[in-house]
Amino acid sequence: MFILIFNFILMNQNNFVTYTLDTKGANKLAHEIYKNLKEPGFVDKVLELFSLNLLVKTKNSGLISNILTWFISTGNNLMINQLISEVNQISNFKLMKRDYLNLVCYFYHTDYPKAQMYFETEIICKKTNANTSIIQTKDIDFILSNRLNKMLKYLSGLFICSSSNFANPIVQADGNFKKFTIKPELEKYLLEKITNSMESYSKTCEKFYAQNKKNYYAIIDAGNVLHGRKGKITSESIADLEQIIITTKKQIGEPLIVIHKKHIKFYEKLQEVFIRTNSTYFLTPYNFNDDIFIMWFFVKSGCSAYIISNDKYRDHIFTYQSSLKIYFKDNDASMCEFSNVIKEQTIGYQLEPCQIESPLVYSNCIQIIGNYAYVPHIFGGFVKVFVE
- The pLDDT of residue 334: 53
Q: Which is nearest to 52 in space by CA: 44, 42, 62?
A: 44
Task: State the pLDDT at residue 346.
Answer: 94
Q: Residues of CATH 3.40.50.11980 domain(s) within the chain?
A: 184-356
Q: What is the pLDDT of residue 208?
A: 92
Q: What whole-number distance in Å separates Cα of residue 373 and Cα of residue 388?
A: 9
* Residue 325 clears pLDDT 80, i.e. is over it: no
List, in sequence order, every beta strand (DSSP E) within the chain. Answer: 5-9, 16-20, 170-171, 218-221, 255-260, 280-284, 306-308, 346-347, 349-350, 355-356, 367-369, 372-376, 382-386
pLDDT tier at 377 (50, 70, 90 boundaries)?
very high
Whole-angstrom CA distances from 195 to 103, 130, 190, 309, 370 are 44, 18, 8, 22, 41
User: What gap in Å lies between CA 149 and CA 23, rounded to an integer?
Assistant: 38
pLDDT one-digit tens code per residue, 31-45: 989 998 888 888 988
> What is the mean predicted confidence (pLDDT) over 323-343?
63
Which pLDDT does position 362 carry in this prediction? 94
Domain 184-356 falls under CATH 1.10.150.130? no
The CB density around residue 116, as the number of other CB atoms within 10 Å, is 17
Query: Taking residues 216-245, what's their average pLDDT?
Result: 90
pLDDT tens across 279-301, in order? Answer: 999 999 988 889 999 999 999 99
Q: How much is the pLDDT for 50?
A: 85
| Predicted pLDDT of residue 255 | 95
User: What is the model's pTM?
Assistant: 0.79
Do the Cβ atoms of 186 and 129 come closer than 8 Å? yes
pLDDT given at position 18: 54
